[in-house]
Each structure stands twice: as C-alpha cells, then as structure tokens.
Amino acid sequence: MTSASSGTALSRTLKLGTRRSPLALAQAEETRTRLCAAHGWSETSVELVPVTASGDRIQDRPLAEIGGKALWTKELDAWLLSGEIDFAVHSAKDVETIRPEGIAFAAMLPRADVRDVLVGAASIQALPQGARIGTSAPRRAAQLLHARPDCSVVPFRGNVATRLAKLAAGEADATLLAAAGLERLGQSGTGHPLAADVWLPAPAQGAIAIECRTGDAETRALLAAIDHAPTRAAVMAERALLAALGGNCHSPIAVLTRAEDADLVLRAALFSPDGAERIEGTLRFAADDAAGPARLAADLLARAVPAIRVHFAGP
C-alpha cells in the first residue's frame, strides 16, 4: 500500500458513488473507512451517493441478454464523467473489460477470499444425482456441468439475500456465491468454500476497484494512499487476459493468480457453455510484463476446440 498521507487537508466533502445493493454499500463503507483512516479524516469527509443500477432493476433475465456488465457501471460512469461524484466503487469482477477513456482505476483494495461457496451441499461431488444448481454466471454453469454433467442449471439472479431466498423456496437444490461477498455481508459461515485450485474463480473475484476521472489528479493522488499494489497487479493481469481473449458476458472463463517473488503465475481455463469442453493453461511472467497475459491467451485460443473458440473474439 502506498504510504498514508496522515492529516491531508480536504477543502470539500468527497462524493463516493455506489450501487444501492447491500454488498455494494458494504464495499463503499470499507472504501470510505480505509480512505479516511489513511488521511486522518472524519468519515463525514466522504459522502456516499447511492444509485440503483440497471443490473439491480432488471433481474428476470440473464445479464448477458440485457447489456452485460455495463448494467452495473453505466449510471455511475455517467455521474463520474459529469462531475456529480468524485469517485466510484465497484466489485472488480463486475467492471467490463473496456472502460470509457475518461475513467481510470485509481485504487484496488486488498483482495479478499477469491473462492466460490457452494450453498446446499458439502461439495460438488456431494450434490445429489440430477441436482438443480441456481446460477446465471456462465463460468459457474460451465464449470458445474463439466464436473457434474448429470446436474442442470437454473437461472438465478439477484443479490445474495434474493438468491438465498430462492434457494430456500426450493427453486434450486444448491447455488454458488462469492466467498468475499458473504464475508463483507457478515455471512462468512454460509455454505462450503470450494478449493480455488480445483474450482477456479472469476477474473478479479474478491477485489474492490475504485475509479475516478482520468484527469482528476487531486482525487487520484488521494486514492493512491489506499491502492494495494499486489491486488492491482493480479487484477490488471486477469483483465488483460480477458481483453486478449476477447471474452464477454457469454464467455465461460475461470482464472487463478498466484504471486511468486516478483512474478505472477496465471492459470486459466476456458469452457464451452455446456461444460462438455475444457482447455487450461498456466504461464509465469514478471509482474510488470504487460504482454504476459496476452501470451497465455494466444496459447489457450490456439488449442481451443471450436465449441470453446466461438465464444471468444480473440485479438
């Protein structure tokens, strides 16, 4: 983390944009707490400005059918670019790969648990024959069907409470949630975490991204105090891999990053949506080697069968 600028004077209240969901608000609170602690401010120095995102309003269809990840960001992007807010907080995995030119990642908070949690059974192997799994994530669906082709997938959208209520109502036999989200909501005892080296996470899962206007040097400098360099390196490598693959909301991709000395080890798997096909690759490269993720992407795409390759645009 960059050194804190304790006691930094602030001439105005900073406005932090966030979605209204309980998890988004918890992430915004964490961001405010860290920023105020870094600079020795009262928490009243940062005002939370909530917005109801399109992705929260429209919950009866899969995200990929109604506009993709932009449904989580477009309202906050508009507020940021118009100056209504000074910075915005997002789950990094929900931020689309190509961002507006006037918006920059100013900080990444320390990454939390990257694992998925299975709710409804002790393990993937323990799911009953023919179990129905509630998820709308292509990665989770494909990974589940690859491991358990006897199971079926039921579309599940909504926040954590909504999905747990659907499960309790019997709409599915089990569901998958992010461990980091449960932890931030104080529900870390829910379900059974899946080993990340067996059940690979989503790109950028567990990380909180903070964005501001590219040209706002003052806010960027203030946010630098809470930027966690190891998290930034890993998340940007995973986002670069996504970009090089040409992946989108329909593309089932899972990735796990490890830091080893000054290097990153990126392990990724691509699937066909039905889980029947899977290709995996691993690459170690220097953390500052911006071309490393693209080399892994090229290797994966070169070996991918058509049923996988068709879901990635490539270079």
Percent over 90 (pLDDT), the chain: 83
Judged against a pLDDT cut of 90, whether residue 248 lies above it is answered with no
Q: What is the mean pLDDT of residues 134-158?
A: 95
- Confidence band of 5 (pLDDT split at 50, 70, 90): very low
* CATH architecture observed for domain 116-193: 3-Layer(aba) Sandwich (3.40)
pLDDT score for 190? 93
**Domain range annotation of the chain:** 14-109+207-227, 116-193, 240-309
pTM for the structure as a whole:
0.91
pLDDT score for 23? 94
DSSP string, 88-120: EEEEGGGS-SS--TTEEEEEEPPP----EEEES
pLDDT score for 7? 58
Instruction: Round to whole Å and give the CA distance between 249 and 53.
Output: 17
Given this chain, do its domains 14-109+207-227 and 116-193 carry the same CATH topology?
yes
Supply the residues annotated as catalytic: 94
- Phi/psi of residue 141, each to 5°? -60, -50
Alpha helix stretches (DSSP H) within 216-291:
217-223, 229-245
pLDDT in tens, 264-308: 999 999 999 999 999 999 999 999 999 999 999 999 999 999 999
pLDDT score for 3? 39
Going by their DSSP bridges, the two strands 152-154 and 132-134 should be labelled as parallel
Q: Report the chain's mean pLDDT, rounded to a whole number.
A: 91
At a CB cut-off of 8 Å and minimum separation 6, what does 167 contact? 119, 120, 134, 174, 175
Joined together, the tokens standing for residue 1 give 């983390």
pLDDT in tens, 173-202: 999 999 999 999 999 889 999 999 999 999
Paired residues of 117 in beta bridges:
177, 193
pLDDT in tens, 51-103: 875 555 545 555 445 444 456 688 899 999 999 999 999 999 989 898 999 99
pLDDT score for 250? 79
CATH tag, 14-109+207-227: 3.40.190.10
CATH tag, 240-309: 3.30.160.40
pLDDT score for 247? 84
pLDDT in tens, 198-247: 999 999 999 999 999 999 999 999 999 999 999 999 999 999 999 999 98
Joined together, the tokens standing for residue 73 give 């960001």
